[in-house]
C-alpha cells in the first residue's frame, strides 16, 4: 500500500483544520522575536544598558588639563564610578566645579582624595584639592543616580574650559 505524501505548505483539514498562511506568518513573527531577543542580549553584553564597551567613555577639555572617564549608561540607585585626571598648576590648589544635573540628581557616595574645601551652591558643587609638586591630580568618585532619565552636566577646572557630560539613567 502506497503512502500519500502531503504538501507541508498546503492547508489541511485532517487530522486538524490548518491555515498554513497564518502559520507561516506566525513563524516569521516568532523568528523576528528571537532575533530581537538575541540583539538585546548582545547590546547588554556590550554595555548598552550599563558597564561595558558601549557605555565606557572619556572626555577631555580643550586645554587637555581635565579628563573624565565615566559611563554613558547608568542605573538608578546603583553605584557609578568617575575617574578625573587633572593637570593643574604646580604647587597650587586646583578647584573643580560640577554643575547642571550632576549636583542635583547624583548622590556622592565616595570621593578620593578628600578635598581641602567643599562648597555647595544652587545647582553647583565646588571641590578644591591640595596642591601637588607637579600639579597632577587623580580623583576617584562614586556617585548614585537618584532618578531615571537624561542627565547633562558640566565639570569645570578653574581657569579652563568646561567638560560636558551626557548620561542616560535607566530605572
User: How does pLDDT run across 104-139, given as a tens digit for each residue?
Assistant: 999 999 999 999 999 999 999 999 999 999 999 999
Same domain, 22 and 71: no
Same domain, 153 and 75: yes
Same domain, 18 and 100: no
Number of domains in the chain: 2
Structure-block grid coordinates of residue 32: 523576528
Question: In sequence order, what are the beta bridge partners of 156?
Answer: 97
pTM: 0.80
Asked whether residue 133 is assigned to any structural domain, the reply reads yes
Same domain, 98 and 166: yes
* Structure-model confidence comparison of residues 52 and 159, the more confident one: 159
Range of the domain at 21: 12-46
Same domain, 60 and 42: no
Same domain, 120 and 158: yes
Same domain, 16 and 65: no
Asked whether residue 4 is assigned to any structural domain, the reply reads no
Asked whether residue 17 is assigned to any structural domain, the reply reads yes
Q: How confident is the model at residue 170 (pLDDT cuts 50, 70, 90)?
A: very high
Same domain, 62 and 27: no
CA distance 58 to 37: 30
For a pLDDT cut of 90, what percent of the chain falls above it? 80
Average pLDDT of span 12-41: 89
Residue 119, pLDDT score:
95
Residue 4, pLDDT score:
56
pLDDT in tens, 70-88: 999 999 999 999 999 999 9
* Average of per-residue pLDDT values in the chain: 92
pLDDT at 46 over 70: yes
Structure-block grid coordinates of residue 116: 581641602
CA distance 140 to 152: 20
CA distance 101 to 74: 14
Q: Torsions phi, psi of 95, nearest 5?
A: -120, 130
Residue (of 74, 82, 64, 89) closest to 163 by Cα position: 64
Amino acid at each position: 500500500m502506497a503512502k500519500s505524501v502531503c504538501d507541508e505548505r498546503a492547508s489541511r483539514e485532517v487530522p486538524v483544520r490548518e491555515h498554513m498562511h497564518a502559520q507561516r506568518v506566525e513563524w516569521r513573527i516568532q523568528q523576528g522575536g528571537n532575533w530581537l531577543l538575541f540583539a538585546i542580549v548582545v547590546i547588554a553584553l556590550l554595555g548598552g544598558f550599563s558597564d561595558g564597551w558601549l557605555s565606557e567613555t572619556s572626555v577631555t577639555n580643550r586645554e587637555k588639563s581635565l579628563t573624565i572617564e565615566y559611563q554613558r549608561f547608568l542605573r538608578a540607585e546603583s553605584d557609578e564610578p568617575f575617574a578625573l585626571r587633572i593637570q593643574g598648576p604646580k604647587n597650587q590648589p586646583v578647584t573643580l566645579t560640577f554643575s547642571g544635573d550632576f549636583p542635583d540628581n547624583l548622590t556622592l557616595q565616595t570621593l578620593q582624595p578628600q578635598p581641602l574645601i567643599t562648597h555647595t551652591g544652587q545647582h553647583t558643587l565646588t571641590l578644591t584639592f591640595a596642591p601637588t609638586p607637579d600639579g597632577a591630580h587623580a580623583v576617584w568618585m562614586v556617585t548614585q543616580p537618584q532618578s531615571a532619565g537624561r542627565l547633562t552636566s558640566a565639570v569645570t577646572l578653574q581657569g579652563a574650559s568646561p567638560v560636558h557630560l551626557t548620561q542616560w539613567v535607566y530605572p
